[in-house]
Structure 1
Amino acid sequence: MDSDGTRDTRGTHANPVPRPAGPPVVPPRPARAPGVPPLPDGSGFLAWLRTPRPEAAPGVWRFGHRPRPEQEPERIPTRQLLSGAVIGFLCGWLLCSLLYNGFLGGFWLWPWFVMAPDSWTLGQAGWLSSLSYVYEVLFFAGIFAIFGKISRWGEVWRRFGPPAWRPKTDDSHEPPPTPEQDPVEWPQLRAAGAVDAAERLAADARAGVMRDVDHARILRAWQGVRGGRFSLATFTGTVLKDGAAACVHPSGARDLPGRIARHDLLTGQVRLGTTADDARNPYAYRGTGLGLDPELLGTSLVAVGPAGSGKTETVVRPLAESLCLHALAGRAAVVVVGAAGAGLGPADAYDVVVQIGNPESVYDLDLYGGTTDPDEAAAVLAEALVGDLAEPHQGGDTRRSTTVLAQLLGPFRAVHGRFPSVPELRQLLDGAPAPLAALRKGLQASGQESLLRELDARERQMGHPGDVGGILADRVALLDRPAFAAFFDTSGQSRPFSLKALDHPVRVRIDLPQRGHADASRMLARLVLAQFTASVAVREDRSLFACLVLDDATGVVTPEAVRGIQRLRSGNAGVVLTLRTLDDVPRPLRGPLLGATGCRMALSGLTPWDGQDFAEVWGKEWIEARDVTDRQIIAETPAGKVLHAVRQVITGKAPTARAVTVRQVERERWSASELAHGVPPGHAVLSLTSVKGEHAPPLLVDLRG
């Protein structure tokens, strides 16, 4: 069972081939995960697999997590703690001294008066004299124990004594799990009767030839067996034949080269940093790792921060790497879009690398998204061309643009059996007489009367002042450049990639030509986003998580894009968008964008006006506010006046009385000023929402931890 039939990438392997492409070359399966040295006994993988992962709040890194108490314990200030301990010791010493010297009487020696009233005195022979020493020691020790409890000596010992000097270690000594509970033994396979397959996988794990991707991939295949996609006999036969290399990804890869982030494929999380031990964070999150998984990315993520704040390095790259690992495990399909050289991972980490504007690129980009429906192609292309134009009179009404494109794409496909190339589409939109005449002649020859009426309507509209054909032609002209001459070919001579392949666990990276072609890059980014939202809505297998990672979404957010993002959650898909500032989004769309995404991140260096948008979407919370008022005390008697004068000379301040008022007030979780000036470098404030509706409040996160 090399594949279950739903994970083939339909010719999207990244093996270098000349243009036009020949048949793909499938590399041989590696005997071991590439780039990972074998462990003789597999102890590292076994320890990773057996590490506990307790249930936790959204965003908590579950690998080895230790839940904290529900209520935050009271932490006494150091000065108050030490002064109380010293005072408690002195009081205990004074009381013991007074009792020992008889200043408080001898009532505390009543046992010896009862048993031997004439022989309790120290120094007198007899066994009762020896016991009297023991009694005194125990009695005085009890006094010090009482004072120590009151003055919290135990807390002093834990905070400043030897327990605080030693590094914290895991002192839990749990017994080894039983075979029925040990994940290394694959108990779920044994319970279903696949004992031989479980034995083979357990042996490979102990031999050190299995890694986390192998475990996740085989577990995904087992879920396919339970879901009825293929039989238990097929699964068992494949596992017995290939062991840890069973059900391998169509690319043959079993790991990614040069991982940079910490991943836990058993929970699906990637660690982005550590939640700061800050009073503004909920107590349960302080000091815990922060991990994101498809359950959270399924609500989409938008990250806003200026250049140099770490969006690509600390957010986009780890998330892209995690999604590529999920794709190798058969769980996800990922498309990563960014500028060429943006550091989105090596080419070996992807199945398909589309380098638009680079003549050495193996793959092309399908301008029409792989569809054969002219109306669907027109709608997606119109969104890419004019979706960013805000005012309708500038051509921003994508419905009119869709109509214009459909009037040309339909007749052209009926005559030529394909959609027009970029130069051909530009000529048609410009109203060039020769292409339109040839198109009319072809329609008349084939008897396409309905499409002739579409073409007639297009020709009538060309002369009207409000026609958007000219604007569409100007936008298409951005792609009709020498740098893109070998791209967007529709004649079948290239190897175009279509987002229709997201039915399979494919890894795609699209490099945009930002340098010298900024407008074209933004238009292509809108095209990819529009094709992504249209493709995931009609997928057959929605058990596969699909994600689009868009590094720098400047000029990409449009009304239709926001509506598309809102629909992704129900299709088991999500997007990751990064922005330098919310000013790159039209003002009417900033609130809807933050409302449509469930995960929102504000990085350090945010502007106050950007912080205001985040503060509004995060809302307010009720807190306990303490108002302290100092009121000067006026002495009315001569003795009081003298005492106040002496006190003022000593302290340098007039005697005052302090009044404390506690009240409940509603305050912003994070104000615009705090987001602009209170987030340290390398940190971010992140709120989370899972596809199940679980929420995590805005958290201050150290992305470097």
Structure 2
Amino acid sequence: MDSDGTQDARGTHATPVPRSRSAVPPRPSAPPMPDGSAFLAWLRTPRPEALPGVWRFGHRPRPAEEPEQIPARQLLSGALIAFLVGWLIWSLLQNGYLGTWWWIPLFLVTPDSWRGGDGDLGGVGTVLVYRGYEVIVALIIMVGVGKLGRWSEVWRRFVAPRFRRGQPDVAPPAPEHDPTEWPQLRAAGAVDAAERLAGEAKAGLMRDVDHARIARAWQGVRSGRHDLSTFTGAVLKHGSAACPHPSGARDLSTRLARHDLVTGQVRLGTTADDARNPYAYRGTGLALGPELLGTSLLAVGPAGSGKTGTVVRPLAESLCLHALAGRAAVVAVGAAGAGLGPADAYDVVVRIGNPESVYDLDLYGGTTDPDEAAAVLAEALVGDLADPHPGSDSRRSTTVLAQLLGPFRAVHDRFPSVPELRQLLDGAPGPLAALRTALQGSGQESLLRELDARERQMAHPGDVGGVLADRVALLDRPAFAGFFDTSGQSRPFSLRALDHPVRVRIDLPSRGHADASRMLARLVLAQFTASVAVREDRSLFACLILDDATGVVTPEAVRGIQRLRSGNAGAVLTLRTLDDVPRPLRGPLLGSVGCRMALSGLTPWDGQDFAEVWGKEWTEARDVTDRQIIAETPAGKALHAVRRVITGKAATARAVTVRQVERERWSASELAHGVPPGHAVLSLTDVRGEHAPPLLVDLRG
């Protein structure tokens, strides 16, 4: 069993994912320990269930409610005063200023013959009895003043953290619960395979990706997609290298973020210890995984706020690791040099406009249906020109394209290239006449009627064919001469390959071709949403990462993003500002994604949109009123005068009024001016519907 069944090409795809040219796996970023102790410790580390977004690796849950927090100065001064009071009481007892009554309990439980130096116990015994009693009394006083001065709270807040080690030792669990022993395989009778895997883990030959990949293959066995004997044979033959990814890679050459492939999370930062964050989240690691990305993520922040470096790059890296484990398929789209990861981290790298690119992009998404191809292509060409108000769409553009794509494919058994499509949309008489002649010779009467309708519409004012031709002309440039070929001479990549755990990076030609880049980004998004809806294997998580979604958000794109969750797919979109989205679409876009991130440097206008979607909450407001106390007696006036000299303030009486008010979770002003550099405010929703309120997160942690 050389794969887990999700990697092999299927006949339903027009362009199966090409295999890697090199069978040599890349060197891992950190070689495993010779005895595998680091890997075993990592695998045995507890990962308790936690709230959405919490980094579960070694997590220690905190109470959901914040305990009463005493100010540090008040706590320390109270502890010191309690100690001094206890010391004073002990001194008074020792010096006899409080009498001898505190000896009565000792006299009641000891005979008279024990007292004095000549007693039955002798001098030494008497001293031990009396001194022991004094120690007991001192301990009682210490316990009393300790409770009064909250010494336990002082220890917990100021002393204990200094003695804690960074990573606690993890005791080996029982064999039947030890994940390094593969108990699920043993329970199913695959004892030999479990022994082989456990031995390689202890010898340092297994990586975290190997563990995740084999666990994924085992899920296929349990679900009935694969045979147990085939799986066992592959493990016994290849060990931890069994069930490989088609590229043969078992790790990425470099890792910049912290990953935990047991839970599927990647750590992005640390939730700030801020009063606006729920107590259970404060100081915890913030991590994302497929269960959160399945609801899609929108990150908004100006240039330099860290969208690519602290959000997009770690997520792309994590999804590439998931793909190597056979769990996910990822398509990362951005400008050339955007920092989406090295080329060797991907199976397919499409460099549009670069003549050295090995792969091409299929303009029609790998489909053979003219209507489907027309709908996707129309969204890419004029989706941003469509009226974003309800009731408007690009159906006219889809109809125009279908009237040409259907007849052309019937004649040539392929779709037109960019120059051919431009000529047909322009209404050039030569290409249209040749297409008509070919249709008449083949007896395609229904398609002739489509062509006749197209020619009649061309004569009417307001025909969208000219607009479509102008948009296609953006791709009919010398820089793209070798791309979007439909004759079979190139190696086009189709998003129909998302049935496989494939890693794809698409570099857009932003310099000098900004309009073409935005159009191609819309094309990829439209093809992605159309492809994930018809996948055969939806157990594979599919994710599209769009580094800059400027000009990409259209009414159809918003509807497509809303449908991704049901197909076990998600999208990650970044924007410099919400002004790059038409005003009628900003609310629907924020409502269609489950995870929303506002980075530092946001404008107040963008902050207002986030504040509205995050809504309000009931909170406790305290109104404090200080009223000056007027003394009426000479003694009181003198006391107030002394107090004013010492404290510099007049004597006042404080009145506190507590009431429940409804306030915005994060106001537009706070989002614009209260988020420190390197931070972001992030709300989360997972595919099960659990959600986390807006959290202030330090992305530098």
TM-score band w.r.t. shorter chain: over 0.9
Structure 1 residues 550-561: aligned runs within 5 Å: 550-561=546-557
2:80 aligned with 1:80, yes or no?
A: no
Q: Equivalents in 2 of 1:169, 1:346: separation in Å? A: 32
Change (3 A) 1:212 1:286: same
Q: Equivalents in 2 of 1:68, 1:598: separation in Å? A: 25
Q: Equivalents in 2 of 1:338, 1:364: separation in Å? A: 16
Q: Equivalents in 1 of 2:196, 2:204: separation in Å? A: 13
Structure 1 residues 283-302: aligned runs within 5 Å: 283-302=279-298
The equivalent residue for 1:364 is 360
2:82 alignment partner AA: G
- CA displacement at 1:129 relative to structure 2: 6.0
Specify which of 551, 555, 577 is matched with residue 581 of structure 1: 577
- CA displacement at 1:173 relative to structure 2: 6.0
**Which range is displaced more, 42-51 or 378-387?**
42-51
Q: Equivalents in 2 of 1:627, 1:408: separation in Å? A: 71
Q: Equivalents in 2 of 1:276, 1:202: separation in Å? A: 39
Specify which of 214, 236, 241 is matched with residue 232 of structure 2: 236
Change (3 A) 1:392 1:195: closer
2:633 aligned with 1:617, yes or no?
A: no
Change (3 A) 1:392 1:458: farther
Percent identity between the aligned chains?
81
The equivalent residue for 1:493 is 489
Q: Equivalents in 1 of 2:229, 2:27: separation in Å? A: 26
**Which range is displaced more, 69-78 or 557-566?**
69-78
Q: Equivalents in 1 of 2:565, 2:603: separation in Å? A: 30
2:206 aligned with 1:210, yes or no?
A: yes
Query: SS in structure 2 opposite 1:691?
Result: coil
2:134 aligned with 1:139, yes or no?
A: no
Q: Equivalents in 1 of 2:565, 2:290: separation in Å? A: 11
2:47 aligned with 1:58, yes or no?
A: no
The equivalent residue for 2:2 is 2
Structure 1 residues 341-352: aligned runs within 5 Å: 341-352=337-348
Change (3 A) 1:353 1:637: same
Structure 1 residues 200-599: aligned runs within 5 Å: 200-391=196-387, 397-599=393-595
Q: Deviations over 1:168-227 (max 9, x none)?
A: 3455563x2232222111111111111111111112212222111111111111111111
Change (3 A) 1:692 1:157: closer
User: Conserved in 1, the CA contact under 8 Å of 2:20 and 2:347?
Assistant: no
Query: SS in structure 1 opposite 2:542?
Result: strand
Q: Equivalents in 2 of 1:123, 1:91: separation in Å? A: 37
User: Conserved in 2, the CA contact under 8 Å of 1:51 and 1:63?
Assistant: yes
2:451 alignment partner AA: L
Q: Equivalents in 2 of 1:50, 1:443: separation in Å? A: 68
User: Conserved in 2, the CA contact under 8 Å of 1:356 and 1:364?
Assistant: yes
Change (3 A) 1:155 1:293: same
1:69 alignment partner AA: P
User: Conserved in 2, the CA contact under 8 Å of 1:12 and 1:351?
Assistant: no
- CA displacement at 1:558 relative to structure 2: 0.3
Query: SS in structure 2 opposite 1:260?
Result: coil
Q: Deviations over 1:272-315 (max 9, x none)?
A: 11111111111111111111111110000000011001111111
Gaps of 5+ in 2: none
Query: SS in structure 1 opposite 2:683?
Result: strand
Q: Deviations over 1:434-492 (max 9, x none)?
A: 11111111111111111111111111111222211111111111001000011011111
Query: SS in structure 2 opposite 1:377?
Result: helix
Q: Equivalents in 2 of 1:500, 1:171: separation in Å? A: 46
Q: Equivalents in 2 of 1:635, 1:34: separation in Å? A: 78
**Which range is displaced more, 575-584 or 111-120?**
111-120
User: Conserved in 2, the CA contact under 8 Å of 1:113 and 1:120?
Assistant: no
2:162 aligned with 1:168, yes or no?
A: no
User: Conserved in 2, the CA contact under 8 Å of 1:12 and 1:506?
Assistant: no
The equivalent residue for 1:49 is 43
User: Conserved in 2, the CA contact under 8 Å of 1:370 and 1:499?
Assistant: yes
Q: Equivalents in 1 of 2:519, 2:167: separation in Å? A: 53
The equivalent residue for 1:151 is 149
Change (3 A) 1:94 1:378: same
- CA displacement at 1:431 relative to structure 2: 1.0
User: Conserved in 2, the CA contact under 8 Å of 1:13 and 1:251?
Assistant: no
User: Conserved in 2, the CA contact under 8 Å of 1:623 and 1:664?
Assistant: yes
2:674 alignment partner AA: G
User: Conserved in 2, the CA contact under 8 Å of 1:300 and 1:565?
Assistant: yes
Query: SS in structure 2 opposite 1:654?
Result: coil
Q: How many residues align?
A: 692
User: Conserved in 1, the CA contact under 8 Å of 2:388 and 2:585?
Assistant: no
Q: Equivalents in 1 of 2:693, 2:449: separation in Å? A: 57
User: Conserved in 1, the CA contact under 8 Å of 2:106 and 2:133?
Assistant: no
2:165 alignment partner AA: K
Change (3 A) 1:33 1:238: farther
Q: Deviations over 1:538-563 (max 9, x none)?
A: 11110111110000000000000000
Q: Equivalents in 2 of 1:339, 1:243: separation in Å? A: 40
Change (3 A) 1:331 1:165: closer
User: Conserved in 1, the CA contact under 8 Å of 2:300 and 2:576?
Assistant: yes
Query: SS in structure 2 opposite 1:283?
Result: coil
Q: Equivalents in 2 of 1:396, 1:388: separation in Å? A: 12
2:104 aligned with 1:110, yes or no?
A: yes
User: Conserved in 2, the CA contact under 8 Å of 1:119 and 1:129?
Assistant: no
Query: SS in structure 2 opposite 1:180?
Result: helix
Q: Equivalents in 2 of 1:392, 1:644: separation in Å? A: 70
CA-atom RMSD, angstroms?
A: 2.3
Q: Equivalents in 2 of 1:129, 1:372: separation in Å? A: 102
- CA displacement at 1:135 relative to structure 2: 2.4
- CA displacement at 1:144 relative to structure 2: 3.1
User: Conserved in 1, the CA contact under 8 Å of 2:23 and 2:247?
Assistant: no
Q: Equivalents in 2 of 1:638, 1:56: separation in Å? A: 63
Change (3 A) 1:99 1:185: closer
Q: Equivalents in 2 of 1:274, 1:339: separation in Å? A: 29
User: Conserved in 1, the CA contact under 8 Å of 2:75 and 2:154?
Assistant: yes
Q: Equivalents in 2 of 1:407, 1:601: separation in Å? A: 42
- CA displacement at 1:119 relative to structure 2: 8.9
**Which range is displaced more, 69-78 or 117-126?**
117-126
Change (3 A) 1:269 1:9: farther
Q: Equivalents in 2 of 1:345, 1:547: separation in Å? A: 16
The equivalent residue for 1:28 is 23
2:212 alignment partner AA: A
User: Conserved in 1, the CA contact under 8 Å of 2:388 and 2:555?
Assistant: no
Q: Equivalents in 1 of 2:646, 2:40: separation in Å? A: 68
2:134 alignment partner AA: E
- CA displacement at 1:86 relative to structure 2: 2.6
1:252 alignment partner AA: G
2:86 aligned with 1:92, yes or no?
A: yes
User: Conserved in 1, the CA contact under 8 Å of 2:294 and 2:564?
Assistant: yes
User: Conserved in 2, the CA contact under 8 Å of 1:388 and 1:396?
Assistant: no
2:63 aligned with 1:69, yes or no?
A: yes
Give TM-score scaled by structure 1 length.
Answer: 0.94
1:512 alignment partner AA: L
Change (3 A) 1:472 1:139: same
